[in-house]
Amino acid sequence: MLVKLPILLAVLAFLCVCAAFMGPVGLSTCFSFIAALQFVPAVLAWNVAVIVLLLLATILLGRVYCSVVCPLGIFQDAVGGVYRLFIPKRRRKTGVYKYRKPDRRLRVGFLVIFAVLFILGVANVLGMFAASFFDPYAIFGRFLGQFIVPGAHAIQSFVLSRFAEKGVFLADSLPPESTFNSVVGIVAAVQIIVVGAIACKWGREYCNTVCPVGTVLGFVSRYSLFAPAIDDAKCNGCGLCSRHCKSRCIDTENHSIDYSRCVVCLNCTEQCARGAIKFRRRKRADVKRTATAGRRAFIAGAAVASTSVAVSGSPVLAPLKNKQPRKSVVRPVPAGALSRKNLYSRCVACQLCVSACPEGVLKPTLSPGEFMQPVMEFSSGFCRPGCTVCSNVCPAGAIKPVTVAEKSAIKIGTAKVWESACISAAYGQTCGNCARNCPAGAIEMLAREGGGLSPIVNADLCTGCGACEFVCPVGTAGFLSGKSAAICVEGLERHVEI
């Protein structure tokens, strides 16, 4: 039962992560708690309760976080399990792994690199996206957001469309436009392939060498109260437990276990026919021996870790082709982000808000300073006043929770008109889509001196929702189909209340 329980909990946690990314709006919000339990986002959000909970669980039971909560860790176990199916049965039965001495210098080196990038991100010197290259949750989130979610939405759209052609309407709308970005997709693919390949060949080597969360929790798990322990009197040194240890941390020659690398999968206890290795309360002598062996690494890692911590909609026009965002415009960030600085100094680029956005407004940007982090584009939708999904699912505090009432009073940007491109102002045609569809009533069509009407934006009323940019026909069809809309939202560096 002790072996099956972690597997069951891991499967449930993995399904919750997938539901948070791929489910409809209500389901995504409901299961976003699993994202809040991830270690790096919790540190960024200063979620003290989660941090204390994870540290207490680690000092009590060891690195259960890595095997039960972390989606990348669960993914590695799944990939390794599938890979072992193609290994000859005899070798699979005797075990495929081999004990490896810990490389503490390499582990601490990667932790130092992560800590430096983390501090630079918090200080807004370098976007937090750089540190997110090491964050296990962000790595797996990008994989879900760039491949699994767009694929699921494409299948869903195909099925709904086929049924609709036959007069059977299973939903009132199609899923949002695909959020796939080729550059971000390449980054996500390379990272997930590398991690998967390492898992096939060397088990949890990524977790125990590169991953900063695994290193930090490893320092704590050295002193865990409960852990797999070897009974020297019963052990005959057969090595079966070591060959099935995916963390490669059991030294059968010396009858010792490196608890800084053990992820408490308990494969070892299942394999030992003599009952020489069991999950039990550790003896004081064992804890003292382990602590003495790793005291220097613990002090160095704790110093690095503590330093890093210190520091319903209105009617719209269906575009015939997608408009492109105007390059000269600073794109806004969602209500709840407080400012561009707050968003980009905390966001780990996990793509959860991008995947959860029901309108497809949030996109990963390719800007060097905010690479892979979200930005708002209104070519395929706009930020509806009643939607607060992104603020409710963000686990890192980059987008803080806001209510619908609070959001209605937050100004994230101001609409700006390019009269030379407007079909009413420049060509004398009757349009007024922006004025008719503005939820805040911030746009009026006023007569021009030379004739015709021109949209005028009341900056005091405009919240920057992007409805005007979305419904603008310029950039969608005909000889007026430039690349961008004639009215676009210019984002604010810091949000203000109106």
Percentage with pLDDT > 70 across the chain: 89
CA 254 to chain CA centroid, Å, is: 41
pLDDT of the residue at 286: 54
Q: Maximum CA pair distance of the chain? A: 99
**Alpha-carbon span 20 to 149, nearest angstrom:** 11
Tokens of 248: 């490669």
Range from 53-57, 165-169, 301-305, 478-482 carrying the lowest mean pLDDT: 301-305
**In the predicted model, is pLDDT for residue 416 greater than 50?**
yes
pTM comes to 0.82
**Residue of higher predicted confidence among 448 and 123:** 123
Q: Can you give the pLDDT at residue 306?
A: 46
Residues 369-382: tens digit of each pLDDT: 889 999 999 988 89
Q: What are the residue boundaries of the structural domains of the chain, listed by start?
A: 4-145+186-308, 319-497
Mark residue 328 as left, alpha or beta (left: phi above 0; alpha: psi -120 to 50; beta: remaining).
alpha
User: What's the rounded mean pLDDT across residues 43-70?
Assistant: 95
Q: Is the dihedral of CA 229, 73, 39, 219 positive or negative?
A: positive
pLDDT higher than threshold 70 for residue 66: yes
* Between 479 and 356, residue with greater pLDDT: 356
What average pLDDT does the segment 470-493 reach? 82
Stretch among 244-253, 296-305, 383-392 having the lowest mean pLDDT = 296-305
Q: Which two tokens stand for residue 234?
A: 């019963």
Residue range 155-159: mean pLDDT, rounded: 83
Query: CA triplet 205, 209, 212: central angle to 5 degrees?
Result: 120
Question: Quick one: average pLDDT of 434-446?
Answer: 94
Place 300 in a pLDDT band, splitting at 50, 70 and 90.
Answer: very low
d(CA 453, CA 194): 57
Express each pLDDT in 308-342 by its tens digit. Answer: 444 433 344 444 456 788 887 899 999 999 999 99
Mean pLDDT, residues 73-84 taken together? 94
- If DSSP states are collapsed to H, E and C, what string results for the chain? CCCHHHHHHHHHHHHHHHHHHHCCHHHHHHCCHHHHCCHHHHHHCCCHHHHHHHHHHHHHHCCHHHHHHCHHHHHHHHHHHHHHCCCCHHHHHHCCCCCCCCCHHHHHHHHHHHHHHHHHHHCCCCCCCCHHHCCHHHHHHHHHHHHHHHHHHHHHHHHHHHHHHCCCCCCCCCCCCCCCCHHHHHHHHHHHHHHHHHHHHHCCHHHHHCCHHHHHHHHHHCCCCEEEEECCCCCCCCCHHHHCCCCCCEECCCCEECCCCCCCCCHHHHHCCCCCEEEEECCHHHHHHHHHHCHHHHHHHHHHHHHHHHCCCCCCCCCCCCCCCCCCCCCCCCCCCCEHHHHHHHCCCCCHHHHHCCCCCEEECCCHHHCCCEEECCCCCCCCCCCCHHHHHCCCCCCCCCCHHHHHCEEEEEEEECCCCCCCCCCCCCCCHHHHHCCCCCEEEEECCCCCEEEEECCCCCCCCCHHHHHCCCCCCCCCCCCCCCEEEEEEEEEEEC
CA distance between the termini of the chain? 57
Check residue 498 and give its pLDDT. 87
Residues in the chain: 498
pLDDT mean across residues, the chain = 87
Beta carbons of 351 and 140 less than 8 angstroms apart: no
Cα–Cα distance for residue pair 375/179, rounded to 1 Å:
12
* CB-neighbour burial class of residue 25 (10 A; exposed 0-12, middle 13-18, buried 19+): middle
Give the per-residue pLDDT at 379. 83
In the predicted model, what is the mean pLDDT of residues 162-191? Answer: 80
Q: Which CATH architecture has domain 319-497?
A: 2-Layer Sandwich (3.30)
Type of residue numbered 437: N
Mean pLDDT of 276-305: 59
Residue pLDDT, tens place only, 230-271: 998 899 889 999 999 999 999 988 889 999 999 999 999 988
Q: Select, from the ranges 70-79, 247-256, 363-372, 379-388, the one with the highest average predicted confidence (pLDDT).
A: 70-79
Residue 304 binned pLDDT confidence (cut-offs 50, 70, 90): very low
- Which of 429, 430, 460, 426 has the alpha carbon at shortest distance from 443? 460
